[in-house]
């Protein structure tokens, strides 16, 4: 089982460029999440999707958009990248809302110059 | 607003010894879930252990156990017989029963000394 797969693993962008981070899970999970991880800040929730067709803002949604394309895929888009968005981005999924643990992808290291 | 605090940014323990990582949280909710995640240098986030708030019994997973003190809002992780492979960043996380927004602490970096 691949679990949660994120692409790309690394990316460098210039300020103002746009890009989409892709995430797919093969565990038939209903809920999917995007986090960013910054030094000394732990993980912060950007957006999440409790089910196909629904998305909700997390703690730090500004500057991002998401799309739950189908049950498997949940993409994160930066329309106009800013240096403050330099971070490591993690996608995660869980069976459903509630007490189920989240399964994480390997992360995408994104640098904005 | 809920918060999760890990007061120890870094800790070190001798191999084969026992170490306890601290975590406190703040919430007005009575039903919630708590997790400890491990993030080794590979960057992967790995679930170590979880605890349901309504359960008084502390969760245990092999060498990992928790001390859950609901009244004190404390959720510490004890690692027994520490191994070199335990070296990682450890994150405490809180998930309220009422929504899907898990909240992470800032992490504790654990070093294992051979």
Q: Strand A74-78 and strand A65-68: pairing?
A: antiparallel
pLDDT score at B78: 98
Q: Is A42 close to B104, i.e. CB distance below 8 A?
A: yes
pLDDT score at A98: 59
| pLDDT at residue B12 tops 90 | yes
What pLDDT band is residue A39 in, cutting at 50, 70 and 90? confident
Chain B CB within 8 Å of residue A89 CB: no
Chain A CB within 8 Å of residue B104 CB: yes
CA dihedral A96, A23, A88, B24 (to 10 degrees): 0
CB of B23 within 8 A of CB of B6? yes
Q: Is B44 close to A104, i.e. CB distance below 8 A?
A: yes
| pLDDT at residue A96 tops 80 | no
- Residue of chain B with shortest Cα separation from A42: B106
What pLDDT band is residue B110 in, cutting at 50, 70 and 90? very high
Chain A CB within 8 Å of residue B72 CB: no
Which among A98, A103, A110 is the top mutation candidate for probing chain B, defined by the most B β-carbons within 10 Å of its own β-carbon? A98
What pLDDT band is residue A34 in, cutting at 50, 70 and 90? very high
- Beta-bridge partner residues of B89: B39, B109
B46-59 per-position pLDDT tens digit: 999 999 998 889 99
Q: Is B47 close to A101, i.e. CB distance below 8 A?
A: yes
Lowest mean pLDDT among A37-46, A77-86, B10-19: A37-46
| pLDDT at residue B99 tops 80 | no
A58-77 per-position pLDDT tens digit: 989 999 999 998 999 999 99
Rounded to 5 degrees, φ, ψ at B111 are -105, 140
Q: Based on the number of CB atoms within 10 Å of its own CB, is A11 exposed (0-12), middle (13-18) or buried (19 or more)?
A: middle
* Arithmetic mean of pLDDT, B36-45: 90
Q: Strand B3-5 and strand B108-113: pairing?
A: unpaired
pLDDT score at A1: 58
Q: Which residues numbered 10-69 in B keep a CB inside 8 Å of some CB on A?
A: 33, 35, 42-47, 50, 52
B51-93 per-position pLDDT tens digit: 999 888 999 999 999 999 999 999 999 999 999 999 999 999 9
CB of B43 within 8 A of CB of A106? yes
| pLDDT at residue B10 tops 80 | yes
A44-53 per-position pLDDT tens digit: 999 999 888 8
């Amino acid at each position: 089982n691949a679990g949660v797969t994120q692409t790309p693993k690394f990316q460098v962008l210039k300020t103002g460029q746009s890009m989409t981070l892709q995430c797919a899970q093969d565990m038939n999970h209903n809920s999917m999440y995007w986090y960013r991880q910054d030094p000394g800040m732990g993980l912060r929730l950007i957006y999440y999707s409790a089910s196909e067709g629904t998305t909700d803002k997390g703690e730090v949604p500004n500057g991002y958009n998401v799309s739950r394309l189908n049950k498997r895929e949940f993409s994160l888009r930066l329309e106009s990248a800013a240096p403050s968005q330099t971070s490591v981005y993690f996608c995660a999924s869980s069976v459903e809302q509630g007490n189920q643990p989240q399964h994480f992808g390997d992360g995408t290291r994104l640098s904005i110059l | 607003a809920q918060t999760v605090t890990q007061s120890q940014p870094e800790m070190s323990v001798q191999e084969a010894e026992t170490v306890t990582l601290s975590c406190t949280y703040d919430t007005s909710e009575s039903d919630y879930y708590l997790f400890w995640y491990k993030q080794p240098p590979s960057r992967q986030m790995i679930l170590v252990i979880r605890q349901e708030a309504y359960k008084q019994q502390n969760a245990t997973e092999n060498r990992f156990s928790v001390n859950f003190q609901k009244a004190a809002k404390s959720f510490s992780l004890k690692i027994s017989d520490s191994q070199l492979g335990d070296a990682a960043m450890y994150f405490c996380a809180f998930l309220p029963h009422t929504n899907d927004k898990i909240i992470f602490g800032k992490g504790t970096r654990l070093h294992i000394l051979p």
